[in-house]
């Protein structure tokens, strides 16, 4: 896990030399954020959803 975090930090904080690599990193981070948001939403819905009978 520590190696994964170290590699991720290097990728994020490395100086980007062209706009395409910067845009790619940004779009990947947005997609990951959306996935985590979906997981959070589904988790809350599972625990706090009240069924109406």
Query: What does the block give as tokens for 45?
Result: 């819905």
Report d(CA 29, CA 16) in Å as an integer. 15
**13-45 pLDDT, tens per residue?**
888 788 988 898 889 999 999 999 999 999 988
CA distance 26 to 36: 15
CA atoms lying within 13 Å on the CB side of residue 32:
6
Question: pLDDT confidence of 49, banded at 50, 70, 90?
Answer: confident
DSSP state of 53: -
Confidence grade of residue 3 (pLDDT, cut at 50, 70, 90): very high
- Reported pTM: 0.64
> Residue 19 has which token pair?
């706009």
């Amino acid at each position: 896990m520590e190696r994964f975090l170290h590699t991720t930090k290097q990728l994020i904080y490395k100086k980007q030399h062209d706009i395409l690599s910067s845009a790619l990193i940004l779009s990947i981070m947005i997609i990951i954020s959306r996935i985590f948001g979906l997981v959070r939403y589904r988790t809350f819905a599972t625990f706090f959803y009240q069924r109406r009978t």
